[in-house]
Structure 1
């Protein structure tokens, strides 16, 4: 199971960077396990390539990382 979230960010406190007028976009997915993540890589790459071509944008970075949740209680 996955969940997606979208955010936009840019330099200078606004959406667009002040000097270059560029916009940065961000997309994230949470996967239930590493097997699901690995199985989706080729489909994600195809969608990313097609979407970037249609939108006339360039993907400059792609990151994968593991998020570990810890619940620490003082009692």
Structure 2
């Protein structure tokens, strides 16, 4: 199968999503271990969660584009 631009785009999104999920898990560990978390940690958590959701949406779009391209 030939690699298309959509497949490359999907691969990039998957890698970025994996990195952001790792960062999100690290912040969750910090928040859970400290007991009392600061507002900065909470803000970072909310922002990262929004980024993860947006990347998942973009990944869904890329998968749809690949299916339509076939």
Higher relative contact order (CA 8 A, sep 6+): 2
Higher strand proportion, which one?
1
Higher helix proportion, which one?
2
TM-score normalised by structure 2 residue count: 0.30
